[in-house]
Amino acid sequence: MEKEHLQFPGYVARFKEEAVDPEVVVLTASEAKSMIVELHNEVKSMKIEAVLVADADALAFATGPPSSRNVDVKGLLELAGKDFPTKFAHFVAYASSLLVPVELEVLKLFLRRDHVVEESIEYFCCMDDTDTRSVVRIDFAEETGVDAGGVHREWFALVTELIVNPALGVFNCANHDTQTYFFNANSAQTISDDHLGYFFASGRLVGRALLEGEMMGFHFALALLKIILGIPITFRDFEELDPVAYKGILWMLENDGAETLGLDFTATKRGEGGNVTTVELVPHGQDILVTDSNKYDYAEHWLHYYLLESVSSQLYVFLKGLYQVIPRQLFMLFDAAELDYMICGCDSIDATDWEINSRCSKNLLGTRMLRWFWELVRGMTFEYRRRLLQFATGCSRVPLGGFRHLTSHDGQICPFTVKVWLMACRRNRHLLDLEAPLLSGESVDHRIDAATREAEAGYTVCASCEFENFKRFEYCVLCGDKLSSMSMTTDDEDGAEDGDEESFMPPAYLVASGERPTHLMSPRPRKMSSLSRQQRRARNRKEWSRKLDVEGKLFWYRSSGGNVPVSSAVEAQLPGYTVTFKLSKGEDEKKELEELEELKELKELKELEEGGSDEEPARESEPVLAIEQPQDDKESNENEFKILPSDVGVELVEASVADPAEFATGKSTLVEAGPERRKEIVSIATSDFPSKYAHFVVNTAALIIPAEIEFLKLSVHREYMLEESMDHMFCIQPKNLRSFMRINFLDESGVDAGGVHREWFMLVNELLASSTLRLFICTNNADQSYFLNPQSRTEVGEDHLAYYFATGRLIGRALLEGGIWGFHLALPLLKIILGVPVTLADMEFLDPEAYRSLRWLMDNDDVDDLGLDFSLTEQISGSEKVVVDLIPNGRNVAVTDANKQEYLDRRFRYVLFESVADQLHAFLTGLYEVIPRELLLIFDPEEFDYLLCGSPEIDVTDWQTHAVLSPNLEGANVTNWFWEIVRHMPNEYRRRLLLFATGSACVPLSGFRGLTSYDGRLCPFNLKGVSYRTTQYISSHACFNRLDLPLYHSKRELKKMLYATLDTDLTGFTTA
């Protein structure tokens, strides 16, 4: 291990400013034109660099430090060291606070379903920075559905699915085994000159997903996750990104004779017009052969090129879009796996959790029909559960908190509800049919309560990966290992009264004070040698942590396990790097102004938190502002659209000298924070995950603009969902980014009260991870994690950065609102988001094949025989190949034993940072616009992955426990049948049922008790019994997490009708 760290140091991506002339970009007339030009000019002024961890600021991210200088670094760092549920609760709380209340502002996106990706990207690209956290409502053209949450969830699911479609060209599936996606480096050729807009919008979209708790439909590559988190990336991260290339490089490193491979320090890249060009990884790289002496250098340059340099523009705008939604500091809480989980959630659906956290109408309580329904759900495959979840909620993924975290369009807890009603296998979406959910007065709580209750319930530590799971889980959500019966509890579970004002923001979740007593012992950790690859990844999530020295200054602490620091030899061989983007002088000044605005905003938020809610009643008298994003108003306000920089420079700062308060796209508030605040954040970062999660939820909830004040209404066409959604997310003004969002599917009758939004979010997630879009590419098929596509400009188009920016904003929104992202981000990307140093070893989870090759090169001599040079061959659109020089003239520089370290370093820098610098910058920028950077400081990458993506499993027991039944279902046979069926469903069918009932197939991290409505208030799953003589078909009200369940006479009939419902198309909103 020491030799590996010595040969493969960790790097963090950093974008640095370069003085360049503004680029003249020719684009077709569109609403995003001005924004795309701005992105291109900004990216051109940036240069990405891979900074050694020893030289990197641990608080910095690729595009800069955390959003606010007032962030308590110590508190965040302490929270980041805690269990994931605590960190997730903190994230959700903070993200919720970022959302602009729906009462204040709503962004309405008008979309065509057949152009949903393009129009969504345009919306998100053009969205004003101030609107990235506003509530979004989707209006699909020629559809009657009114977005009360379900349309939004469906739209999000569609967009995230289409955005990773290879045909779109934004992301590429870099690893088919793990289905992880990375930026398409050739997006400019694949998409068009406006490809940066795609990445910018995608970053905003990912940010929105994190902000709102939505789940993305695909996983980012590990390297991209690390870059998002600001975590160092290493050569190992490339294994997940490109396993084949990794194996080749590893073989070269582990064996002698590199000279025989004929490699030089070059890589191939598709240039303007689709021409294949050679990129030199080092000056005169084509004249430098790869030998055994330099093969490590070759691998490093090769890595840097493919991870950073080849996608620097895409990376920059993607990060820009992401960080506009999710402040960088929030990513400091998580590791890459946690971020991946937060973005993508869990693919399975726990029928028990579903049933426990569901409600039903009174005529279904205790009935056989209700039992039949749950029996069918339990007997379903996971795919059919996902269909049912999609059908019911508009989203096929369960929120990270489980079914108790299902929400309506405004973020309120809105549990899944079964109701006996009159419809035949369709959801009631008509405006006149929007009945209130079956809620008692005390159940109209915010998801903050669900998160804090989960934290108060304690946690169970996994013996394999040492992750602090929510207490309700039987298996670890990170590594899948069976959990011990031993758990950690607190003495304050019965502390605050429900009516106590401070119960919404308990100090335990705002600050990890260490005063919460724990009981029982954690299971003895298993030996590293006995762990699987996934368990090792989860165990290593705390490799990097932010700590304070005796002077109160932050520094990166690197652990080799068991809180033992790595040796100096290991640090020298595999240093960690944080990434910083280099922008032009003008762009850098603009970024500083934006950071000052963010600091001012967060300062005001902090003052509001400390000063109470004296001014809150005044909001009630203010008019509700509905901000709509029309499709036909593309010429107006062009000057307000954001321009994402292309040719973003990247600087990798070694972790030993990096400021842990800085992120890739800027500084967090911890940079200027006092020692007490830093101590507070460090304390929170070291707390258990449930506590950190509660802290996050409390703080994000404070950011949300109430729906009563303002909401965003997004109108999209279902056929153009991704495009229009990305366009909406891109174009939302930053001031509106944290407003509640309502989705209007054009030409559909659905009214978004939560379900439409959830469905939209789920659909957008699926589109974003689509292999035809290629905005994200699945770089690791084993982990199904996605990374930014370095060829996104070619494969997605010129506006690819707008997609990344919008995706970043979308992820920020997901974090803000507690939404579950539909796909996992690669570990390096999670680290970059969190500002955590990235090392070469992280490439293992980006491209396992390539990592094994690089490892072989590192550990073996005579690499000259391999005939390698300092170049890479990149594949564009699945067929065409281009050679990219990792150093100048790299194709003519052979990899030898003398320069292989340089080769490994260049390859690491290129693959993880330089190749996706533009995309990463756009993505992170969009994310941090929604979620302040300091809120991410408390999470490690795996926790952040879990926070973002949740768990695919749906716990039926949790579902049933937190479900509400109508009086006619209490004690009814149909009620028991329903839960029995759900329990026996495959997880996919549980997810379908959850999607059907709530508009989302994902359970919130806090479980089914965390189900919310559109405004963040708790809205439990409801089961309502309806007369069998009136209808024999199951229908749903996804906006209110409700199922209408006919009072069937037999379990067999209930199962037949339930599965028939879940086998149909669960998306779309029609008139009841």
The set of catalytic residues is: 1039
What is the rounded CA–CA span in Å between residue 24 and residue 14?
Answer: 25
Rounded to the nearest 10°, the torsion over CA 316, 318, 320, 323 is -130
Amino acid (one-letter) located at 1060: A
- Nearest CA to 263 out of 881, 890, 853 is that of 890
Report residue 865: phi and psi, to 5°.
Answer: -65, -15
Report residue 159: phi and psi, to 5°.
Answer: -65, -45
Residue partners of 301: CB distance under 8 A and separation at least 6: 265, 281, 282, 285, 870, 886, 887, 890, 902, 903, 904, 905, 906, 907, 908, 909, 910
- How are the residues of the chain apportioned to helix, strand and coil, as percentages rounded to the nearest 5? 40, 25, 35
What is the rounded CA–CA span in Å between residue 781 and residue 768?
Answer: 17
Task: Give the residue carrying structure tokens 């289409």.
Answer: 162
- Nearest CA to 948 out of 192, 419, 394, 160 is that of 160
**Is 616 strand, coil or helix?**
helix
- Nearest CA to 588 out of 811, 112, 161, 921 is that of 921
Task: Give the residue carrying structure tokens 């929270």.
Answer: 79
DSSP class of 542: G
Largest CA distance in the chain: 82
First CA to last CA across the chain, in angstroms? 62
- Nearest CA to 321 out of 588, 173, 133, 87 is that of 133
What is the rounded CA–CA span in Å between residue 242 and residue 268?
Answer: 15
What is the rounded CA–CA span in Å between residue 329 and residue 1063?
Answer: 42
C-beta atoms surrounding 284 within 10 Å: 18
What is the rounded CA–CA span in Å between residue 308 and residue 677?
Answer: 33
C-beta atoms surrounding 486 within 10 Å: 13
Helix (H) or strand (E) holding 48, with range, is: strand 46-52
What is the rounded CA–CA span in Å between residue 458 and residue 466?
Answer: 15
Residue partners of 431: CB distance under 8 A and separation at least 6: 146, 749, 751
What is the rounded CA–CA span in Å between residue 872 and residue 268?
Answer: 5
- Nearest CA to 135 out of 582, 762, 744, 913 is that of 744
What is the rounded CA–CA span in Å between residue 942 and residue 1029?
Answer: 51
Burial 388-416 (b: 16+ CB within 10 A, else e): bbbbbbbbbbbbbbbbbbbbbbbbbbbbb
CA distances from 917 to 111, 272, 310, 391 (A): 30, 17, 7, 38
Residue partners of 767: CB distance under 8 A and separation at least 6: 116, 117, 157, 158, 159, 160, 161, 162, 163, 164, 165, 168, 217, 721, 722, 773
Dihedral over Cα of 593, 928, 737, 219: its sign: positive
What is the rounded CA–CA span in Å between residue 582 and residue 645?
Answer: 10
